[in-house]
Amino acid sequence: MFNIWENIRKTAPLIHHITNYVTVNDVANITLACGASPVMADDVEEAAEITQLAAGLCLNIGTLNQRTIPAMLSAARKAKELNHPVVLDPVGAGATKLRTQTALDILQTDSIICVRGNISEIKTLIHGTGNTKGVDAAAVDCVTEENLDHSCEFAKQAAQKLNTIVAITGAIDLVADTKQCYIIRNGHPEMSRITGTGCQCSALVAACIAASPAKPLEAAAVAVMAMGLAGEIAHKHLLPLEGNATYRNRIIDAICHLTAEELTKGAKYEIR
Amino acid sequence: MFNIWENIRKTAPLIHHITNYVTVNDVANITLACGASPVMADDVEEAAEITQLAAGLCLNIGTLNQRTIPAMLSAARKAKELNHPVVLDPVGAGATKLRTQTALDILQTDSIICVRGNISEIKTLIHGTGNTKGVDAAAVDCVTEENLDHSCEFAKQAAQKLNTIVAITGAIDLVADTKQCYIIRNGHPEMSRITGTGCQCSALVAACIAASPAKPLEAAAVAVMAMGLAGEIAHKHLLPLEGNATYRNRIIDAICHLTAEELTKGAKYEIR
Amino acid sequence: MFNIWENIRKTAPLIHHITNYVTVNDVANITLACGASPVMADDVEEAAEITQLAAGLCLNIGTLNQRTIPAMLSAARKAKELNHPVVLDPVGAGATKLRTQTALDILQTDSIICVRGNISEIKTLIHGTGNTKGVDAAAVDCVTEENLDHSCEFAKQAAQKLNTIVAITGAIDLVADTKQCYIIRNGHPEMSRITGTGCQCSALVAACIAASPAKPLEAAAVAVMAMGLAGEIAHKHLLPLEGNATYRNRIIDAICHLTAEELTKGAKYEIR
């Protein structure tokens, strides 16, 4: 399975990102770190044209606005037409009507291969409302060892209802289609103290799927494992005085050096 | 007083930032570093709704535009209605009519609990014009040991005129209401070679006040001391070849580890 | 020639940037690192006013949009009127009609002193179409030791046709006016794995020319050498586990410490 990781470096896919301005630099650098190439363009006048040049599209609604929403929809429609993989990161869905509605509108384009979000965001997309606390998941929603069977079932149902692969990240990550659910236990709790680890994970998902489009479920799972393992490796090398800013850099650095071999050894997952 | 610093980690307030795209990532990471949680949203369609979810609002006009100005005003009005603390960072007020007018318009909403700026920006808000050099204070305006009595008096008058707490940061920082002025001598001159240390300070002010809303003057002063002390600690650990990019990361790292105890020992202030 | 580098620290020119939101933070920090001062402002209501305060203008179309294009044109016209040096970074020209047309429209203002781009972008501006792969140069276009004479000739012709200095960066950098072409062999291949080294180079070009406006060709060449040498120095100090995120910081750090003396020793160039 982990040749998927090598495929990124072999094919160096160009990924079109329409994303938020908070974490965009880290998203671009992690895209380069994994071996893909990023291009950011969010004006409706050129969005479809850029998508046409790219091998994949990553839509992130973290700082959506009236100007970029039409660009996201235009790019999604073009990607659908060209059969390019599109990843949706519904940042903050459930927090406002605009976010929830925009995420649903993007899903309506029927272009999305994978939705990567926290559990509250995904629940919002399924149930119409959620417990999102700003851009973070609500504690009440979280995937735990106790509710794991139920959570896997939810993930598969969400995949069915959304007609996409669903990647739900948190302390335990779930990546599911309608039939299989990867349960992934990589990562480190301190990752939640860095802004944009979720956005970066979505960027890896887009790169992995664009490089291995025939195996989107495995590719999404590999991306989530890679992000988690990078978080572990980076944390191991953190010095006592270093905090979340340096940790951010070291995670991207770890992706830079991560090999398929290390991933094979370090990935902690099961399939249900 | 320094239990104010612990209060952020105890209450983890969600802070809504409408801020500039230059330093937004550092603002998000320092907000997480101090123990609060950031959410960035700047479209008028959702700004008030996000503010409603949050415990505090931080408005920074660093890259204001026709689209985000109405969002700032909408969020400020909602925060006023809900009695949420709002911090204004009037970046570059005095440099252009748009910046000066927008800062004054935001003040007119009567929602602002604290204005954090450099001396030229604050003078602009009081006198209508200033000597701002781009986004930096003019040398002629600066607070010095020589003009300190006069400067404290100015800070208190500014607090009265603006009907807010005023935090004037520079080589010497002043944080004043109409009656008291904290004179703070933390910080390091090299901090001015990093973009956004002012923006980050405003973010800490917002987090501190949101966590201790009953003591806004003390909370603003603690935030300014914390930023300065983090600048000192981070500079001490800088290696000979490291420069402003690494220094930026180490300041956020230092905030990550800063305790109320260290702040009690390291804070250098007097009250006049 | 390398007193040009010292001139930045002596004169601390204020540089107005209208730039993309992907790399803007690095652009601001490298501007500070070299001794200049950045101000970012992209709304048409204030762009000309900010330009008037500044000593130079740097236009970067990396994430251009309908709102910022008029601001770029307005700032360019004001700079032309005031005879301020303007640098254009035509990011992704050739990738979309909007990018190519906007770059040409900006050139039409007759305000540009230097265009800094990759070879595919510059070819697009000359021939109307190019082989840009997203925001990267196409391999087929690249300057190599084999096509160097031809490439220098092209650079001089481009300078004539665009009526600007042309700085073409890549594995080998060319900086040319109509008569002379600097061939620069500084830099490190890993720089291409960091987002925004091109944008940062453009920022250094703007700072160098603003500080030494009488010698724009030499200033542009010095900026390109400084960026390349910083890439070499930073790479030398990279630890085994460090990757592109840390490398990014160390390049800016290296600019922070780079002296005219080191530049004199480290610059690898010839003139044809």
Name the interface residues of C facing B (CB cutoff 8 Å): 14, 16, 21, 24-26, 28-29, 32-33, 37-43, 45-46, 49-50, 53-54, 67, 237, 248-257
C-alpha A130/C-alpha C52 separation (Å) is 49
Confidence of residue C129 (pLDDT cuts 50, 70, 90): confident
For residue A134, is pLDDT > 90? no
Residue A229 token pair: 């393992």
Mutate to test the interface with C, among A15, A27, A40, A237 (most CBs of C within 10 A): A40
Task: Name the residue in chain A with its Cα closest to that of C193.
Answer: A32
For residue B130, is pLDDT > 80? no
Tell whether B116 is in a known binding site: yes
Q: Is B168 helix (H, G, I), strand (E, B) or coil?
A: strand
- Please tell me the total count of domains within chain A: 1
For residue C133, is pLDDT > 70? no
Q: Specify burial of residue A71 (Cβ count, 10 A radius: 0-12, 13-18, 19+).
A: buried
Q: Least CB-CB distance to A21: which of C21, C26, C193? A: C21
Confidence of residue A131 (pLDDT cuts 50, 70, 90): low
Cα-flanking dihedrals φ and ψ of residue A87, to 5°?
A: -110, 135
Residue type, C184: I
In this complex, do B95 and C38 lie within 8 Å of one another by their Cβ atoms?
A: no
Q: Are C16 and C54 in contact (CB under 8 A)?
A: yes
Q: C191-227 burial by CB neighbour count: b if 16+ within 10 A, else e? A: bbbbbbbbbbbbbbbbbbbbbbbebbbbbbbbbbbbb
- Interhelix angle B244-257/A244-257, rounded to 10 degrees, is 120
Question: What does the pLDDT read at residue A141?
Answer: 84
- Half-sphere exposure (CA, 13 Å, Cβ side) for A129? 0
Residue C151 token pair: 């490439």
Name the interface residues of C facing A (CB cutoff 8 Å): 20-23, 25-26, 62-67, 92, 95-99, 133-136, 193-196, 241-246, 248-249
Cα-flanking dihedrals φ and ψ of residue A37, to 5°?
A: -130, 125
C110 sits in the region (left: phi over 0; alpha: psi -120 to 50; else beta) called left
Size of interface A-B (CB pairs under 8 A): 103
Q: Is C146 helix (H, G, I), strand (E, B) or coil?
A: coil
**What number is the average pLDDT over the span B13-32?**
98
Closest CA to A206 of A18, A10, A42: A18
In this complex, do C242 and A255 lie within 8 Å of one another by their Cβ atoms?
A: no
Task: Name the residue in chain B with its Cα closest to that of A132.
Answer: B53
In this complex, do B250 and A249 lie within 8 Å of one another by their Cβ atoms?
A: no
The answer to which of A70-79, A200-209, C39-48, C126-135 has the lowest mean pLDDT is C126-135
Minimal CA separation from A213 to chain C, in Å? 20
For residue B152, is pLDDT > 80? yes
| Residue B74 with chain A: CB contacts under 8 Å | none
Q: Specify burial of residue A82 (Cβ count, 10 A radius: 0-12, 13-18, 19+).
A: middle
For A154-192, the pLDDT digits (tens) are 999 999 999 999 999 999 999 999 999 999 999 999 999
Nearby residues of C229 by Cβ (< 8 Å), 6 or more positions away = C186, C254, C258, C262, C263, C266, C267
Tell whether A94 is in a known binding site: no
Closest CA to A35 of A250, A161, A223: A223
Minimal CA separation from C151 to chain B, in Å? 35
**What number is the average pLDDT over the span B171-175?**
97
For residue C115, is pLDDT > 80? yes
- Better-scored residue on pLDDT, C11 or A128: C11
Bind-site residues of C for ATP: 116, 169
In this complex, do B246 and C250 lie within 8 Å of one another by their Cβ atoms?
A: yes
**What number is the average pLDDT over the span B205-214?**
98
Closest CA to A45 of C101, B31, C212: C101
Name the interface residues of A facing C (CB cutoff 8 Å): 14, 16, 21, 24-26, 28-29, 32-33, 37-43, 45-46, 49-50, 53-54, 67, 237, 248-257
Residue type, C193: R
Size of interface A-C (CB pairs under 8 A): 104
For A214-261, the pLDDT digits (tens) are 999 999 999 999 999 999 999 999 999 999 999 999 999 999 999 999
Name the CA dihedral angle for A249, A250, A251, A257, rounded to a multiple of 10 degrees: 120
Q: Are B136 and B187 in contact (CB under 8 A)?
A: no
Q: Least CB-CB distance to B253: which of A26, A135, A246? A: A246
| Residue B21 with chain A: CB contacts under 8 Å | 21
For C148-200, the pLDDT digits (tens) are 999 999 999 999 999 999 999 999 999 999 999 999 999 999 999 999 999 99
- B11: CATH: 3.40.1190.20
In this complex, do C22 and A42 lie within 8 Å of one another by their Cβ atoms?
A: no
Tell whether A196 is in a known binding site: yes
In this complex, do A193 and B256 lie within 8 Å of one another by their Cβ atoms?
A: yes
Q: Least CB-CB distance to A49: which of C22, C64, C97? A: C97
Question: Touching B: which chains, 3+ CB pairs < 8 A?
Answer: A, C
Confidence of residue C48 (pLDDT cuts 50, 70, 90): very high
Residue A36 token pair: 């893909």
In this complex, do B243 and C33 lie within 8 Å of one another by their Cβ atoms?
A: yes
C-alpha B178/C-alpha B181 separation (Å) is 8
For A136-155, the pLDDT digits (tens) are 777 778 999 999 999 999 99
The range of the structural domain enclosing residue B44 comes to 3-271
Mutate to test the interface with B, among A241, A248, A250, A252 (most CBs of B within 10 A): A241
Opening angle at CA B152, ends B148 and B153, nearest 5: 120
Distances (CA, A) of C74 to A154, C18, C66, C79, C248: 54, 11, 13, 9, 32
Q: Least CB-CB distance to A14: which of C26, C62, C133? A: C133
